[in-house]
Amino acid sequence: MEQDTPEGDRIAKVLARVGIASRREAERMIEAGRVAVNGKRIDSPALNVTAKDRIEVDGQPIAEAEPPRLWLYHKPSGLVTTEKDEKGRPTVFDALPEDMPRVMSVGRLDLNSEGLLLLTNDGAIKRRLELPSTGWLRKYRVRIKGTPSDETLAPLRAGITVEGERFQPMEVSLDRQQGANAWLTVGIREGRNREIRRAMEAVGLVVNRLIRVGYGPFRLADLKPGEVEEVRSRVLRDQLGLDHDFQPATPPRPKRTVRKAGPPKRR
């Protein structure tokens, strides 16, 4: 006997959609007892909710979901990409303009890295942009100490294992030598924790500046440090293959080729 599918969406998905947290982080909040539905605290994300349900986080009702939005942000060096830092260091979110809504970062840039950081108000968009299966190339301008040769860079282009962690092949080109330093352009598709810095160290190179200049189709261009620029909704939908409701667009079915029957063959 078939069971009826519950109405609505999973509670963690709803929390992510209104920008409370990513879906995974929302699940942890639920398990910690911070979320209540219709006045009752819940401890499991296995619950579907609809627009009729009253949802609260830490005793405060959540806002209605806004349309998904995406911003390009030029992160300066010296900021951490977390909402709160246990060491009290300044964060990306402390530095954003006051009129910005609640947003989440797409991936991270470490404390000493700078450049393009994507921000969104929608957890589903965040997850979609971060998935390795998206296959988007992240491009960086990297300044290193030393005089690298093609032989030095070859392991990076072939794929390298660092402390038991396998990094996919990188796109690496030498742009120019500038005194004791060299500038490289590096492209990666996964963006693991400190991937470029660790990979460079493994071949004897030390990174002293790292600037992300591209994330898939999005570019840093002439955005100045600390500046924010919103991506147009149409561009966001087109780049992610979404329809006007920001749902995955259904690709058109290929047309069937109907051949007309010829005259019957004579025997």
Long-range pairs for 151-154: beta carbons < 8 A, 24 or more residues apart: 152/203, 152/204, 152/205, 153/184, 153/203
Which of 47-51, 67-71, 199-203 tops mean pLDDT? 199-203
Place of tokens 């900021």: 79
Distance (Å, whole) CA 43 – CA 77:
39
List, for residues 10-34, the tens digit of each pLDDT value: 899 888 878 788 788 899 999 999 9
Q: Residue type for 76, please?
A: P
Name the residue with higher pLDDT: 257 or 131: 131
pLDDT higher than threshold 70 for residue 267? no
From the list 94, 99, 110, 243, the catalytic residue is: 110
Distance (Å, whole) CA 43 – CA 25:
14
pLDDT at position 123 is 82
pLDDT at position 249 is 64
pLDDT higher than threshold 80 for residue 255? no
pLDDT higher than threshold 90 for residue 64? no
List, for residues 80-119, the tens digit of each pLDDT value: 998 888 888 999 999 999 888 889 899 899 999 999 999 9
Name the residue with higher pLDDT: 127 or 55: 55
* Confidence band, pLDDT 50/70/90 cuts, at residue 5: low
List, for residues 138-151, the tens digit of each pLDDT value: 999 999 999 999 99
- Quote the pTM value: 0.75
pLDDT at position 251 is 54
pLDDT at position 134 is 75
- Judge contact between 61 and 54, C-beta under 8 A: yes
pLDDT at position 1 is 43
Report CA Rg, the chain: 24
pLDDT higher than threshold 70 for residue 263? no
Distance (Å, whole) CA 207 – CA 181:
9
Q: Residue type for 185, please?
A: T
pLDDT higher than threshold 50 for residue 258? no
Distance (Å, whole) CA 92 – CA 148:
33
List, for residues 171-200, the tens digit of each pLDDT value: 999 999 999 999 999 999 988 889 999 999
Q: What percent of the chain has pLDDT over 70?
A: 89
Name the residue with higher pLDDT: 39 or 257: 39
Per-position DSSP letters for the chain, written without gaps between them: -PPPPPSSEEHHHHHHHTTSS-HHHHHHHHHTT-EEETTEE---S--EE-TTS-EEETTEEPPPPPPP-EEEEEEPTT-BSSSS-TT---BHHHHS-TT--S-EEES---TT-EEEEEEES-HHHHHHHH-GGG-PPEEEEEEEES---HHHHHHHHH-EEETTEEEPPPEEEEEEEETTEEEEEEEESS--TTHHHHHHHHTT-EEEEEEEEEETTEE-TTPPTT-EEEEPHHHHHHHHTB-TTSSBPPPPPPPP-PPPP-PPPP-
List, for residues 223-254, the tens digit of each pLDDT value: 999 999 999 999 988 988 877 766 766 554 55
pLDDT at position 89 is 92
Active site residue 43: no
